[in-house]
Structure 1
Amino acid sequence: MGDLTTLPDLLREYAPQVLAAVVRRYGDFEACEDAVQEALLAAAQQWPASGIPAQPRNWLITVAGRRRVELLRNESARRRREETVRHEPAPEVRGDDELALLLLCCHPALAVPAQVTLTLRAVGGLTTAEIARALLLPESTVGQRISRAKQRIRDTGTRFEMPAPHELSDRLAAVRQVLYLIFNEGYTASSGEQLHRLDLTREAIRLTRQLHRRLPDDGEVAGLLALMLLTDARRPARTGPDGSLIPLAEQDRGRWEAAAIAEGVAIITRTLARAPIGPFQLQAAIAAIHDEAARPEETDWPQIRILYGMLHALAPSPMVTLNRIVAGAMVDGPAAGLAALDEAATDPVLARHHRTAAVRAHLLELAGDLDGAREQYRRAARLTLSLPEQRYLESRASRLR
């Protein structure tokens, strides 16, 4: 009998492998995904009493395959398929199955929210209820999103196979972005009572590790993994005992996870030396500079500003612009930062984003304009949906008397 305390992790590990094997054998992603979910449920109910089988993955594949046959509506078709199954070996698991499954879940025909949800379900092995809790959505909404995504894949006629070489790069870019979105939502929840959602950050890191093992020469996958590790390493120090947000400059750096920092720094150092530079690598390099500074005043802000300039050239975005302004202000002073922020805030996205108001408040505080800073902190608090961020911003405003 295996260790039943690890049963949830075991089922989560096997879920994408089993789904990939069953889809490749029988086709029809939608029906196969339903069959695999039922096999996982059967294992969760039966194995605590009967023990984990000697070959748990094969057990799951067999049960899912049988259930896939039972789901056929036409009785004669079901009998013919059962006859075929009895004479066929169990589907095998191939080395690239999980990568192919990730690519399928991030199919370009799906909207990004559908890609995120389907990835968590099919590759992450999360149940509909778990996804709903993680994303703070009604379970019915998540169920409908998954159902529509599977229907969309079926309508496109997409087969379970690796894309052609000329399509792989674009498809991998979508996979990396989906994993990054999952991580970000877990690390700084966009709404709700909690700042962190550990199930999402852990799942994003786990899936990115798997992707990195399968594509060790992809610099951007390596950069993404390093970025996640270097960022998540600070999580223990980001909140106080009451759940309140603690900004980077005020965190107890002794609480940062040294092993994660060392791993992340090693990955990005190796990658920058041998791979073409990409946006995730640059973000990881910035995170490494922050993490390697023993004290806030030792942060190499000139180097960070250079890296944000490179990132802006490769992948411009409103948040990159904002972070570049912050780095520049730390080098040239708050007045220069406020001038740059006035110019950048003509962008409608930045003009209404809470982080723009928060940055303006911080720079005004550094410049000695406490009244202006207090007003901007309160404006930022009104704009964010995250309750921990609201409480932090309001507390900053209240301290400026």
Structure 2
Amino acid sequence: MAVIVQKYGGTSVGSLARIEAVAENVIATVRQGHQVVVVLSAMSGETNRLVSLATQLDAQPSTRELDMLMASGEQVSISLLTIALIQRGFSAVSLLAHQVGIRTNNHFGRARIESIDTKRLEQALEQEQVIVVAGFQGVDNEANITTLGRGGSDTSAVAMAVAVQANECQIFTDVNGIYTSDPRLVEQARKIEVLTFEEALVMASLGAKVLQNRAVEYGLRHNMPIRVLSSFEPGEGSLVTHKDTIAAELCGNQGITSIAHHQHDILVIINGIESDIAMANLFTLIGEQGIELEMLNKSVLNAGQINLQFVIHSKDQTKLTNILQKFKKNYCIKDTQIHTNVAKVSAIGVGIKAYAGLVGEVLTTLAKEQIKVLLISTSELSISVVIDEVHLNTAISRLHQVFDLASLPK
């Protein structure tokens, strides 16, 4: 008898009708002879509603209390699903993070899972119960409720799958797999049948919204297969696996697998930082505020001054502005530039490192469309460019076409 962990996102449990549909899907899995652990997000829109209530009282509410508030959303969804399962004659139990023993660090709003106590889980599985667990949350060493950040239920599910030694972790969402690009923007986008953890991690980090990057990272570290499926239609979905023996024909032209994008970014340019010590102090201040930097580029002038370019999410602009004001009181810099309304577009694939000239092809494609590249970054698995957000749809569509991703086999 295999153990299967199934995670359902907010849209999948967004109404009582959807919760009943999830109950039927869980029951079908049980009837196939599997033991099932279910991890749920809050009902669609609930987390935003709770945050809105908090910010009406305080524009910057206590992070501890905000976690306490947001964690209540999952309690509602797991209780409702468990009621639906019991009403249908199936033994089920709902459990919050502290009842399962999900231990995290104390970084409120962005906690990381450190361990899971499997005793309660094992007891419930021995009793052949369906276990319904609240995603997105944990408890720290002082029994404070913590949350894992947006999309954290994915990480909860993968961690739970590792803890119970599941055969695979199934992530049910509103799309039927991982696509070569966002199908809402690229009509010709195709579903990817199988991809490596490395590809999925890069895709998640560079803007693909199907999986949270921490969830993929956890799966990679513990060799836990992740399957992305639709809770609205049947299908095999997309499998993310440790095996990198993917057939060559599953990659598009020149080894590219997908075109990902991320919106609502800000390009930051800081010129003339006086020294390495000053730069180190700046990064320390940024790190203390939990701001994630992407596409970091450093150059050194003849005078020893340092220029920096990097990308942050727009939600962190106020934090960064405050940091720069504090920084300027102690160190000299020449000037700073903030470019808002930019987007990041990335070509991703395990075959990138095997093909020379891909950067030139990406830049040529964009230049033909008169799209100016503001920043570029490369790795063994990706080529990323920052462009003005107004050109996003054109850039994605043209790159998808140039690398022939519509011809990937079904």
Normalising by the smaller structure, the TM-score range is: under 0.3
Higher relative contact order (Cα pairs below 8 Å, separated by 6+ residues): 2
Q: TM-score, normalised by structure 1?
A: 0.27
The structure number with the bigger radius of gyration is: 1
State TM-score, norm by structure 2: 0.26
Which protein is richer in strand relative to its size?
Answer: 2
Q: Which has the higher helix share?
A: 1
